[in-house]
Structure 1
Amino acid sequence: MGSVARGRARVQGSDSLPASRGARGVRERPPITAPLPRPVVDTHCHLDVIDRHLGESPGPDEALALARDAGITRVVQVGCDVDSSAWAADFADAHDDVVAAVALHPNDVPRIVDRDGRAGLEAAYAAIEALAARPSVRAVGETGLDYYRTRDESAQLLQHESFRRHIDMAKRLDRTLVIHDRDAHADILRILDDEGAPARVVFHCFSGDADMARHCADR
């Protein structure tokens, strides 16, 4: 299926296709799979990484075609900043079997403040909300907390604020909330309790244990 996870292309294709190149070197493409026995929705992909960063073949449209051939009936293209969120919305507009999720990724929020100040962050929130209102955008995310990569306390507090604002946005616009939780389980649950979770929530990424999964399911 065609998907890109956390900035590394993972698009199925033949052995003749070029391999992905990342920090760990060259990886071989897996073979094209037989169609899945039942329709499947890919709830989280980053096809823009191919188009905007890797410049590889197959491109986003070809990757989507490979996904269709494997039995993927719909994909959710996820944004992590204003540019990738706009790309996601535009790509969803152009493909009937694609919907978009838009947000400021928790690790990007402190970087925006460092680069553009609070005014830049407010402008980014406004841009994300405008994108989230588009019909092809069905989710707000990925948002949440990431203590694995962001360890500075002041930066984590910015993530808390951003998570709360994205929760509010999802509820006001009746969008699914896509949560990125990396080593921040207690604070994720606390903020969800404080703000009240939207009616529909997807956890990605989820690094919790079985107890946390049961806790989420019970809510």
Structure 2
Amino acid sequence: MPETYVQRRDGEGRKDLRYPAAPEPLAVPIYDNHAHLEILDGDEPLSLTDQLDRAAAVGIAGVVQASGDIESSRWAVDAAASDPRVLAAVAIHPNDAPTYAANGMLDEAIVVIDELAAHPRTRAIGETGLDFFRTDEPGRPAQFESFEAHIALAKKHGIAMQIHDRDAHEAVLETLARVGAPERTVFHCFSGGDAMARVCADAGYYLSFAGNVTFKSAQNLRDALAVTPLDRVLVETDAPFLTPVPLRGRPNAPYLVPITVRFMAAELGLDLDELCAQLAANTLRVYGSFEDQPTGD
């Protein structure tokens, strides 16, 4: 197991911090293509093994562990090296890039991500991108610098890229078009609408939907899902965040993916097993097999 590197999610404002009961298992196994399992949450936090065992029990065969700084990237690689149910994604988060830059450490951080990206269980650069919600104008040049460096790393290592895009749709799409996107580009926790979904699909990008597709206020996400070709759709938790309805506010985890997938199948009017088979195929096409044996303990 990876050495302990934990962040504790603040429970303030949430009324129920118990992990929910497990949903009905899926008959066709699928994958959670974006989670942050190093972040502890809830009244009784789950270990990595607990998370993966609970997920496996309901048909979630593997998890792509995403990162946002040097420490979480190292943790992701250690987790993937220790358990065949985990693949790693490594990156400096766009909201952390200005801090690294202000400390004169962004170039050094990119070098570390480059080294971690070479590990055989690292299958994506992510999450990287642009965030104009939390980062104001002075910090944005560092975000662009970091984003373009991460794009180059994904191409160099021949792996996928997971994009964080918040209130920056046009700038993200322009950057990808100008610099040239990696062959397998995923919009993690897709946040656009149907028009953007069509643009992304035409460009060959993948759209990953999280539990917020179930939120009453998120009609734009349901509209986007409806027009996205099925061979470009992925599913994720972004755990411990974005717990799907009717469990909003409680801790999220990969074992809750079946709730989101059943909702997606109903929205699309698809047979659940058919959608699961497509999601599994899409995930393996983007990240490769989970079956390569880990190289760690």
TM-score bracket, shorter-length normalisation: 0.7 to 0.9
Match of 2:179 among 171, 195, 205: 195
> Which amino acid is the alignment partner of residue 35 of structure 1?
P
Letter in 2 for 1:208: G
1:86 partner letter: R
Q: Distance in 1 between matches of 2:121 and 2:19?
A: 31
More relative contact order, 1 or 2 (CA 8 Å, 6+ apart): 2
* Residue identity matched to 1:135: P
| 2:63 alignment partner in structure 1 | 75
After superposition, the C-alpha distances for 1:173-218 in whole angstroms (9 at most, x for unaligned) are 1010100000100000100001111111111132211100110000
> In the alignment, what sits opposite 1:12?
none
1:43-88 residue CA offsets vs partner (Å, 9 max, x unmatched): 00100112xx879432121111100111011110011000000000
Alignment of 1:41-52 (within 5 A): 41-50=31-40
SS of the residue 2:23 aligns to: coil
Which of 190, 203, 206 is the aligned partner of 1:206?
Answer: 190
TM-score w.r.t. the length of structure 2 is 0.63
Distance 1:169 1:55 in 2: 38
Give the distance between the partners of 2:101 and 2:13, measured in 1 at CA.
30
2:173 partner letter:
L
Match of 2:27 among 11, 20, 37: 37
For 1:112, the equivalent position in structure 2 comes to: 100
Query: Is the strand fraction higher in 1 or 2?
Result: 1
Residue in 1 that maps onto 2:110? 125
CA RMSD of aligned residues (A): 1.8
Q: Which runs of 5+ in 2 are unaligned?
A: 1-6, 204-297
Number of residue equivalences: 196
CA distance in 1, matches of 2:140, 2:161: 20
Equivalent residue number for residue 158 of structure 2: 174
Separation in structure 1 between the aligned mates of residue 55 and residue 151 of structure 2, nearest angstrom: 30
Unaligned runs of 5+ in 1: 1-6, 10-20
Secondary structure, counterpart of 2:186 in structure 1: strand
Where does residue 140 of structure 2 map in the other structure? Answer: 156
Contact in 2 for aligned 1:170/1:198 (Cα 8 Å):
yes
Give the secondary-structure state (helix, strand or coil) at the position aligned to 2:68. coil
Cα gap change, 1:55 to 1:162, in 2 (>3 Å): farther
The 8 Å contact of residues 75 and 99 in structure 1, kept in 2 or not, is answered as: yes
Runs of 4+, deviation exceeding 6 Å: none
TM-score (norm 1): 0.84
Task: Kindly indicate whether the alpha-carbon contact (under 8 Å) linking 2:70 and 2:91 is maintained by their aligned counterparts in 1.
Answer: yes
